[in-house]
Amino acid sequence: MLKNDLILRAARGEKTERTPVWLMRQAGRILLEYRAVRNSLSGFKELVETPELAAEVTIQPVDILGVDAAIIFSDILVIPEAMGLTYEMVEKKGPHFPKTVETVNDIQALKVADPTDLSYVYEAISITKKELNERVPVIGFAGAPWTIFSYMIEGGGSKTFSKARRLLYEDPKMADQLLEMITQSTIGYLKNQIKAGADMLQIFDSWAGVLPPKHYSRFSLKYISQICDAIDEVPITVFAKGAWWALPELANVNCRTVGLDWNMNPEEAKRILPGKTLQGNLDPCALYGSEATIKEATKQMLEDFEGHPHIANLGHGVYPDTDPNRVKYFIECVKELSSH
């Protein structure tokens, strides 16, 4: 039995004695303890692919920051890798794909990921589960098919994502073919994360906001829905960054929780999504402020979500140069201000 199941109860819409809190990118660069592990290795990928070490950095924020959940340390790009498209993590620049998908032949050279190719992730989850010894739940995750697709077409991040978006106009059939393969790969992957011990899942649609609404429904939400329909074992959170106009459609997606970024209006989200738990949505830059500023911003956020099932978080990942003491203070503020 989990000693702290606040986040799972909140996700199910149940009353909780206080608001649960965790952070996107909590296992990572803000912690000196993480950097010590990371600096002893060849790079980011070695850390992701070494289960004992991935588990160690997954647990660090639970011990150091006092968050209510551990999110497995991994990367959304393990899926294209397992499909046959390898990536590199370039220091200070982010992910890079030496080869990208440009033609139907490139898609035919790929495969639907065999879940066993990602056994290092499941192993990291089961080690984490064992070492946490039921202290807090473990969150598993994957990228949304559209976001993964964007990386596979663009070869990395982009200001405009014009190559990926262009394909939706030029050859929607080819786009669907790749999106379907990513979707099938992701379903198998997430099912195996659950078997390994993930208590809940999050789907990250980091590049949701670059699409026009009609394309978002057609080329992103359609595939996110397929994933959510295929998985009913644990609660799922969908985080579609920048897609504020998609909230009404997210009401019909089979997920328990909807993540909001800091541009989204909690009042509006509460009105549009009465049946969903909401997660978010403090501006990550608020954590650069003084303690008084952080406390005020946290209080405002909690008030904004009052009367609605809520999981406290930032509106995106915590920025790498944020002072860990400020992050810890934010978590303490949530606990103190939301207890009743």
**CA geometry: angle 40, 44, 47, nearest 5 deg:** 65
Catalytic entry in 12, 18, 29, 135: 29
Q: In what order do the strands lie in the sheet containing 236-240?
A: 70-71, 138-143, 200-205, 236-240, 257-259, 277-282, 310-314
Nearest to 305 by CA among 70, 25, 61, 21: 21
End-to-end CA distance of the chain: 24
12 is catalytic: no
Would you tell me how many other CB atoms lie within 10 Å of the CB of residue 83? 24
25 is catalytic: yes
Q: Which residues contact 10 (CB under 8 A, 6 or more apart)?
A: 16, 19, 20, 277, 309, 310, 311
Strands 200-205 and 310-314: unpaired
29 is catalytic: yes
Cα 268 to the chain's mean position, in Å?
A: 22
68 is catalytic: no
Catalytic entry in 5, 68, 75, 205: 75
Catalytic entry in 12, 18, 35, 38: 38
Catalytic entry in 25, 35, 135, 218: 25
Amino acid at 210: V
Catalytic entry in 151, 216, 223, 329: 151
135 is catalytic: no
Residues recognised as catalytic = 25, 29, 38, 75, 151
